Amino acid sequence: MTDDLMTIREMCDHFGVTARTLRFYEQKELLSPIREGQKRLFTRRDRARLKLILRGKRFGFPLEEIRQLLDLYDVGDQQLTQYTRTITLAETHLNELKAQRAELDEAIRELADQLEWGRNMLASMEQDEAAE
Amino acid sequence: MTDDLMTIREMCDHFGVTARTLRFYEQKELLSPIREGQKRLFTRRDRARLKLILRGKRFGFPLEEIRQLLDLYDVGDQQLTQYTRTITLAETHLNELKAQRAELDEAIRELADQLEWGRNMLASMEQDEAAE
DNA sequence: GCAAAAGATTACGTTTACGTCAACGTAACG
DNA sequence: CGTTACGTTGACGTAAACGTAATCTTTTGC
Closest-approach residue (CA) in chain B for A129: B80
The larger pLDDT score, comparing residue A80 to residue B47, is at: B47
Among residues B6, B42, B10, the alpha carbon closest in space to that of B25 is found at: B42
SS3 A42: strand
Same domain, yes or no, for A52 and A100?
no
CB B16 within 8 A of CB B39: no
- Range(s) of the domain holding residue B91: 75-132
SS3 B77: coil
Which of these ranges, A27-31, A48-52, A87-91, B69-73, has the smallest mean pLDDT? B69-73
Whether residue A70 lies inside any domain: the answer is: no
Same domain, yes or no, for B81 and B40?
no
Which of B51, B54, B59, B103 to mutate: most A Cβ within 10 Å?
Answer: B59
Cα dihedral across residues A55, A19, A69, A63: positive or negative: negative
Distance between CA atoms of residues A32 and B78, nearest Å = 53
Phi-psi region of A16 (alpha: psi -120 to 50; beta: other; left: phi over 0): left
Whether residue B99 lies inside any domain: the answer is: yes
Q: How far is CA B108 from CA A5, A48, B86, B113, in A?
A: 28, 16, 32, 9
Same domain, yes or no, for B32 and B82?
no
Same domain, yes or no, for B14 and B56?
yes
Examine the fold and report which residue of B38, B61, B84 is the final residue of a domain before the chain moves on: B61
- Amino acid type, B75: V
Look at chain A and count its residues: 132
Examine the fold and report which residue of B19, B34, B61 is the final residue of a domain before the chain moves on: B61
Same domain, yes or no, for B115 and B85?
yes
Distance between CA atoms of residues A11 and A30, nearest Å = 15
Among residues 36-65 of chain A, which lie with CB inside 8 Å of chain B?
Answer: 55, 57-61
Same domain, yes or no, for A81 and A132?
yes
What φ, ψ does residue B40 adopt, rounded to 5°?
-85, 140
SS3 A30: coil
Share of chain A above pLDDT 70, in %: 92
Asked if A91 and B118 come within 8 Å (Cβ–Cβ), the reply is no
Same domain, yes or no, for A29 and A79?
no
Same domain, yes or no, for A56 and A88?
no
Whether residue B66 lies inside any domain: the answer is: no
Whether residue A69 lies inside any domain: the answer is: no
pLDDT value of residue A66: 94
The pLDDT-based confidence of A132 (bands split at 50, 70, 90) is low
Whether residue A116 has pLDDT greater than 50: yes
Taking the CA of residue B30 and the C1' sugar atom of nucleotide D10, their distance in angstroms comes to: 20
Calculate the average pLDDT of chain A: 89
What φ, ψ does residue A72 adopt, rounded to 5°?
-70, -25
Same domain, yes or no, for A3 and A43?
yes
The CA-CA-CA angle for residues B20, B3, B50, to 5°, reads 35
Q: How far is A87 from chain B (nearest CA, A)?
A: 7
SS3 B2: coil
Same domain, yes or no, for A57 and A80?
no
The CA-CA-CA angle for residues A53, B104, A85, to 5°, reads 60
- H/E segment holding residue B88: helix B80-130
The larger pLDDT score, comparing residue A43 to residue B83, is at: A43
**How many Cβ pairs closer than 8 A exist between chain A and B?**
108
**CATH, residue B37:** 1.10.1660.10
The larger pLDDT score, comparing residue A88 to residue B19, is at: B19
Q: How far is B50 from chain A (nearest CA, A)?
A: 14
* Positions in chain C where some atom is under 7 Å from a protein CB: 6-11, 16-20, 25-27
Whether residue B97 lies inside any domain: the answer is: yes
Average pLDDT over residues A40-55: 96
Examine the fold and report which residue of A61, A92, A108 is the final residue of a domain before the chain moves on: A61
pLDDT tens digits in sequence order for chain B, 132 residues long: 446 899 999 999 999 999 999 999 999 999 999 999 999 999 999 999 999 999 999 999 999 999 988 977 876 667 788 888 888 888 989 999 999 999 999 999 999 998 898 888 888 887 876 765
Whether residue B67 lies inside any domain: the answer is: no
Whether residue A36 has pLDDT greater than 50: yes
Taking the CA of residue B36 and the C1' sugar atom of nucleotide C25, their distance in angstroms comes to: 14
What pLDDT digit, counting tens, does each position of A90-104 carry?
A: 899 999 999 999 999
Whether residue A113 lies inside any domain: the answer is: yes
Same domain, yes or no, for B57 and B80?
no
**Count of domains in chain B?**
2
Whether residue A1 has pLDDT greater than 70: no
Q: Which of A94, A104, A112 sits opposite B112 (nearest CB)?
A: A94
Whether residue A82 has pLDDT greater than 70: yes
**Rounded CA Rg of chain B:** 23
Taking the CA of residue B52 and the C1' sugar atom of nucleotide C29, their distance in angstroms comes to: 39
Same domain, yes or no, for B92 and B128?
yes
Asked if A91 and B121 come within 8 Å (Cβ–Cβ), the reply is no
pLDDT value of residue B1: 43
